[in-house]
Amino acid sequence: MSKRVLDLESKIKNKKALIGIIGMGYVGLPLVKTFLKKGFEVLGFDVDARKVNMLNQGESYIKHVSAEELKAFVKKKKFQATTDFGLLTRVDAIIICVPTPLDSHKNPDLSFVLKTTEVISKSLRKDQLVVLESTTYPGTTEEEMLPLLEAGGLRVGEDFYLAYSPERENPGDKFYSTEKIPKVVGGITQGCKRVAKALYDQIVVKTIPVSSPKVAEATKLLENIFRSVNIAMVNEMKMIFDRMGIDIWEVVEAASTKPFGFMPFLPGPGYGGHCIPVDPFYLAWKAKEVDYPAKFIELAGEINTLMPYYVVSKTIEELNKRGKSIKGARILILGIAYKKDIDDQRESPSLKIISLLQGKGAKVSYNDPYVPQSSGHRDYPGLKLKSVVLTEKKLKEFNAVIITTAHSVYDFEWIAENSSLIIDTRNAVKKKRKNVIKA
Ligand SMILES: NC(=O)c1ccc[n+]([C@@H]2O[C@H](COP(=O)([O-])OP(=O)(O)OC[C@H]3O[C@@H](n4cnc5c(N)ncnc54)[C@H](O)[C@@H]3O)[C@@H](O)[C@H]2O)c1
């Protein structure tokens, strides 16, 4: 191994390397905190000046990332957030955690990654390590980023190092914090892999080196497609069993007693978040290049997309049984975040359900202890709501309450006692009650 690789490796191992993380979001911010806790100095880069200012005042805008800890590091001058990308030249390891969304035609939108790579390439210097963490299709690091980074004349593996290491953050997970989740790493060259592995060895429980960035990129997609397909399968089972008068949740619980060959997935109102509804389509798009239509991905997408419609039709059916039409009905959505105990509304099925109900003339309110207001959504520009306070009197005002997100702070038995009709998409109400319908 070259002396330069060994020098950077030892700088990392001695925690003398300055870390630069680009994208201070749900992924970047927990990563900042992990590096800080392990004794590194960190610069946090973002284009959003509001976020940067908040961070420099030791404030966090993500519920599960505590502001107190961050404040201490800002005070000790171990952490600084910045919009000045000129500072990248000071950094030894650059980690990219910017968004990788889909465009309006469900095609990958790599613009954030490519813009960031161009910015890095302007100040790229010898002995820097660049790692992409954003989820993307196989080939992004090697085919899209590498040419941009080498355009200035520096050579990968000789002058600088490039690797891919997928993010596996599970927001709201109290046990699996960033440092407890093993990390897969693929480098363009052996030297790239070695320094990238050395970097993650300092902060996570285990680093798994693989033969190339492509394998690391594909690993992340397999993990997310596995979830998407299994969620779709159990959601389809839910609809079939419902027609047969069988409770899917009871079936999943019983099947889970099998000690091998079965892994439980729970049905719900659809899927949400920045990953599972989005990432599989990165592979579906790339697969077309090799003439392969990704059937599982498309089918899972279709079924999961259908779920909010299913919940709405169940609600209409139950209201109808009670002599109430959907037009003018007062409906409360319980939980607008896409999963429990977090504040992230991205791709939340609750938003789709609200918009479908509003389209049918229902008067929709929501409660979410972690999301005081909901507006500014690209797909739902007309949606502007504030979380209502939950009281016995308030609950009684609604014709139906739809449980979409089972936040742990909710007292579901109390909610069910005080509501006329509950549509429960999460099996949240445990006691059997006539006014609770699972959907
Ligand atoms: N959120 C998750 O649970 C999760 C889990 C695994 C993987 N991922 C992947 O991680 C990546 C980041 O996701 P996230 O949830 O952290 O997104 P996010 O939207 O929370 O954060 C992205 C941040 O990047 C900033 N940004 C946008 N363009 C930028 C640019 N050109 N330069 C610098 N900063 C820029 C934004 O202002 C924002 O603060 C995505 O590829 C996502 O698929 C997310």
Residue 62 above 80 pLDDT? yes
Task: Indicate which atom in ligand 1 lies nearest the CA of residue 62.
Answer: 20
The alpha carbon dihedral of 195, 196, 199, 200 has a sign of negative
How much of the chain exceeds pLDDT 70, in percent?
Answer: 100
The response to whether residue 275 sits with its C-beta less than 6 Å from ligand 1 reads yes
Question: At 82, which helix (H) or strand (E)?
Answer: strand 79-82
The response to whether residue 339 sits with its C-beta less than 6 Å from ligand 1 reads no
346 CA to middle of ligand 1, Å?
Answer: 12
How much of the chain exceeds pLDDT 90, in percent?
Answer: 93
The response to whether residue 84 sits with its C-beta less than 6 Å from ligand 1 reads no
Ligand 1 binding pocket mutation candidate from 98, 131, 170 (most atoms within 8 A of CB): 98
Joined together, the tokens standing for residue 10 give 């030892």
314-342: per-residue pLDDT in tens? 999 999 999 999 999 999 999 999 999 99
167-222: per-residue pLDDT in tens? 998 888 889 988 999 999 999 999 999 999 999 999 999 999 999 999 999 999 99
Average of per-residue pLDDT across 344-370: 97
The response to whether residue 23 sits with its C-beta less than 6 Å from ligand 1 reads yes
Residue 413 above 90 pLDDT? yes
For residue 74, the one-letter residue type is V
Residue 415: per-residue pLDDT: 98
For residue 119, the one-letter residue type is V
pTM for the full model? 0.94
Task: Indicate which atom in ligand 1 lies nearest the CA of residue 168.
Answer: 6
- 427 exposure class (CB count in 10 Å sphere: 0-12, 13-18, 19+): buried
Residue 61 above 90 pLDDT? no
Q: What is the DSSP string of 340-373?
A: TT----TT-HHHHHHHHHHHTT-EEEEE-TT-SE
Q: What pLDDT band is residue 3 in, cutting at 50, 70 and 90?
A: very high
Average of per-residue pLDDT across 290-307: 96
Question: Could you list the active site residues?
Answer: 275
* Terminal C-alpha separation, the chain: 59
